[in-house]
Structure 1
Amino acid sequence: RSENRITALNRVLDRVAKGDLSARYVSRTDPGDDIGRVAAAINRMLDQLSLTMDSLRHVSNDVAHDLRTPLTRLKTRIEPLLSRSDLPPDAAQDLELAEAEIDAIVSTFNAVLRIAQIEGGNDQVALAPVDLSQLCSTIHEMLSPVAEEMGHALTAACPNTPITVDGDREMLAQAIVNLVENAMRHCPAPAQIAMSVTGDSGIATIKICDTGPGIPEAERDKVLRRFYRLEESRNTEGSGLGLSLTAAIIRRHGGTMTLGDNAPGLCVTITLPTA
């Protein structure tokens, strides 16, 4: 009896860990023993957490409306000016820079909202079988020319046999692309960037390893926070949200993401349960 109740409680916690904040422990026959009191405390905590996340989502929606509207108007006013032939060269260049800055702000804001949606379980995850081998190969084909242009070599070890997980293909692709682009951006050329996918004992493993400067061990947990950037990365392009967004996507799929030493460089390891 007690074992069944603990199993049911663990199932609730597993659902919450995957982003389902609606999960609750329900039983009309539980006595007021220790297990019942713990279950009631967990339900109260989840009720409060749901209210907090709802408030955050409302604030995010309000901020999205308040910021996107003026930014869109501003960009709409700038675009016609860029097509004019009578602009002084300096003015045209300034307008192009202004447009790029607007795009960067909107992109950053979209990433913040995306993370909030994923972490709050408010996103629409279209679960379907995803072949990580095929996805890895597609991403390699897409990004290899970009890496070469930047002076890097991007390789991929994608097995011919399918390694399938239940997930949202678009979100998983975004997570992998974020990691590869992060490596290309922060590694001085020429760098070796290696993608690999393996599967064993019900676990799929994706690795993105590079030969760049790496991340000090003391900083590896910090770089997963929103907007956190290493001191040496502050002058490079980016918002400090890529790793945070990637980690949120992987957690939403019931997986893990760890940062390790590639000696030299960084090695990011993702694990996901196979279908």
Structure 2
Amino acid sequence: MRVDLFKSTPFRLTVILGAAFLFALLVAGGIAFIVIRNELAARADASISDTYSVIRQSFGDSDIADLTALVQSHADATVRHEQVYLLRNPDGTILAGNIVRAEVGQGWSTVESEALGLDNEFTYRVFVGDAGGNAILVGVSSAESDAIGWLALVSFAWAGVVFLVLVGAAGLIVARRGQRRLETIAGVMDKVGRGELHARIPITPAADDIDQLSGQVNAALDRLLALVEGMRQVSMDIAHDLKTPLNRLAITIEGAIATEAKGASAATLLAQAQSEGRQINATFDALLRISQIEAGARRSRFLKLSIAPVLHNIWEVYADDAAERGQRLELSIVDNLPPIAGDRELLTQMVANLVENAIRHCSEGTEIRMAALLAGDRVRFEISDNGPGIPPDERQRVFQRLYRLDKSRTTPGTGLGLSLVKAIADLHGAAISLNDNAPGLRVRIDFPRS
């Protein structure tokens, strides 16, 4: 998958962020320029005021000669009219200074150079005061402030250019890096589309948002692989485990046909065929039910409920059955058991399957115990017995569809009871485990509180 770098999302995001920062830089530069300009203006006014005060004080004894000499000395000391001075008597005659006219009034003024008889591009900040009827003008050109302002503008302009270049380069680098990662993801998904379900997106040490998304995609692929493998295993199990009953059903029907052809009654053989057909139908019904539960559709029917009544109802139904087999079924429930979120019908089916398994596979004299208790922040259901148990290496395999222990193949059943229990537990977000009861088996299911 090749994408134009300039059209990639990382590049566009980098450009957008860069534009935002550039705008902020321009705003900050504008504010800084205004502040600098105002500060320079304030300093110029202060300098003018100080100079005027010094000159004015020289007229303290009404000595016009000293005043004239001081104004002229200031005028002679300036270069290129950066400062302007003028002393004019009451009749308008210029007594001293470095300008030939002053078309300004008393007080503060900002004037062009023409108003002072000068020929340059600067403006002047001037102050005109009175000294015994004589007018004293002191002014400063904008040359310095203009130069500083221009320097600031040029600096900000170059900073903007450098910033744009860096943003563009960073955008290309980020876009290229992002494109490589997206190409990797696209390559993995292409492999998955071609049936390579073991392909996974590599996770980088950065652990960024793309890595988090990749982790979620990998988890989804793991679930997909597990489902596909489960379907493949189910198909193989169905083909293997149902082959014998289907062959037996075919043989029984053929025998019934042969018996009828001889004129004898085939009722017994037909009854056997009916029983075989019902067993096969029950197997498919159980498989369909497990698939429906694993699809999660029943989760919409969840209600807040207590598991205690469910256990009590199952105990009442199966206690007598266990007693007839010489077994004892006990029930223990702690007080104030918190509720869980679940489907009462499915929970009843789950507990019933576990109790039926214990009764069916345990011998006379076995004690079977049902219990509900608190385990940390979870509600725990346990069913334990002191029967033959399940070997440790078989405890996970018994949750597979149609899987049966060798010693259980002579007893009635489809091999789907514990698969159904596992599907119901998973639907409720419960953790199920098979443990040694020394002797016997302990099934433990931990439900999250509602």
TM-score > 0.5, shorter chain as reference: yes
| Cα pair 2:384 2:442 within 8 Å, conserved | yes
Q: Which amino acid counterpart does residue 46 of structure 1 have in structure 2? A: A
Q: What SS is found at the alignment partner of 2:301?
A: coil
Between 1:45-54 and 1:191-200, the stretch displaced more is: 45-54
Q: CA deviation at 1:113?
A: 1.5
**Pairing of 1:88-99 with structure 2 (within 5 A):** 91-99=266-274
Which sections of structure 1, spanning at least 5 residues, go unmatched?
1-31, 64-70, 79-87
Q: 1:50 to 1:266 in 2, by over 3 A?
A: closer
Q: Distance in 1 between matches of 2:331 and 2:433?
A: 19
Q: 1:102 to 1:262 in 2, by over 3 A?
A: same
Q: CA deviation at 1:53?
A: 6.3
Match of 2:23 in 1: none
Match of 2:184 in 1: none
Q: Which amino acid counterpart does residue 418 of structure 2 have in structure 1? A: L
Say if 2:299 is the partner of 1:130: no
Match of 1:39 in 2: 213
| Cα pair 2:299 2:343 within 8 Å, conserved | no
Q: Distance in 1 between matches of 2:382 and 2:218?
A: 39
| Cα pair 2:322 2:359 within 8 Å, conserved | yes
Say if 2:211 is the partner of 1:211: no
Say if 2:401 is the partner of 1:221: no
Q: 1:200 to 1:259 in 2, by over 3 A?
A: closer
Work out which structure has the larger RCO, using CA pairs closer than 8 Å and 6 or more positions apart in sequence: 1
Q: CA deviation at 1:142?
A: 1.0
Match of 2:24 in 1: none
Q: CA deviation at 1:238?
A: 1.0
Q: Distance in 2 between matches of 1:251 and 1:112?
A: 16
Cα deviation, 1:87-115, whole Å, max 9, x if unaligned, reads x9974333333222222211111111122
In the alignment, which of 103, 118, 121 is matched to residue 293 of structure 2?
118
| Cα pair 1:163 1:198 within 8 Å, conserved | no
Q: 1:44 to 1:155 in 2, by over 3 A?
A: closer
Q: 1:40 to 1:167 in 2, by over 3 A?
A: same
Match of 1:23 in 2: none
Q: What SS is found at the alignment partner of 1:240?
A: coil
Q: CA deviation at 1:225?
A: 1.1
| Cα pair 1:152 1:190 within 8 Å, conserved | yes
So what's the TM-score if we normalise by structure 1? 0.69
Q: Distance in 2 between matches of 1:260 and 1:52?
A: 24
Say if 2:333 is the partner of 1:179: no
Match of 1:231 in 2: 406
Q: CA deviation at 1:164?
A: 1.3
Q: Which amino acid counterpart does residue 254 of structure 1 have in structure 2? A: G
Q: Distance in 1 between matches of 2:430 and 2:218?
A: 27
Q: Distance in 2 between matches of 1:263 and 1:154?
A: 18
Match of 1:159 in 2: 334
Number of paired residues? 218
**Pairing of 1:1-275 with structure 2 (within 5 A):** 34-40=208-214, 42-43=216-217, 46=220, 91-123=266-298, 125-275=300-450
Q: What SS is found at the alignment partner of 2:352?
A: helix
Match of 1:17 in 2: none
Q: Distance in 2 between matches of 1:162 and 1:33?
A: 41
Q: Which amino acid counterpart does residue 216 of structure 2 have in structure 1? A: I
Q: Distance in 2 between matches of 1:261 and 1:52?
A: 27
Cα deviation, 1:180-230, whole Å, max 9, x if unaligned, reads 000011111121111000124321111110111001111111111111111
Q: Distance in 2 between matches of 1:234 and 1:245?
A: 18
Q: Which amino acid counterpart does residue 420 of structure 2 have in structure 1? A: L
So what's the TM-score if we normalise by structure 2? 0.44
Match of 1:26 in 2: none
Higher-Rg structure is: 2
Q: 1:231 to 1:162 in 2, by over 3 A?
A: same
| Cα pair 2:337 2:374 within 8 Å, conserved | no
Between 1:91-100 and 1:40-49, the stretch displaced more is: 40-49
Q: 1:248 to 1:52 in 2, by over 3 A?
A: closer
Q: CA deviation at 1:272?
A: 0.2
Percent identity over the alignment?
38
Q: Which amino acid counterpart does residue 411 of structure 2 have in structure 1? A: T
Q: Distance in 1 between matches of 2:225 and 2:276?
A: 35
Match of 2:97 in 1: none
Q: Distance in 2 between matches of 1:44 and 1:223?
A: 27
Q: Distance in 1 between matches of 2:327 and 2:355?
A: 11
Q: Which amino acid counterpart does residue 147 of structure 1 have in structure 2? A: A
Give the superposed CA RMSD. 3.2
| Cα pair 1:198 1:205 within 8 Å, conserved | yes
Q: Which amino acid counterpart does residue 36 of structure 1 have in structure 2? A: I
Q: What SS is found at the alignment partner of 1:185?
A: helix
Q: Which amino acid counterpart does residue 143 of structure 1 have in structure 2? A: Y
Q: What SS is found at the alignment partner of 1:268?
A: strand
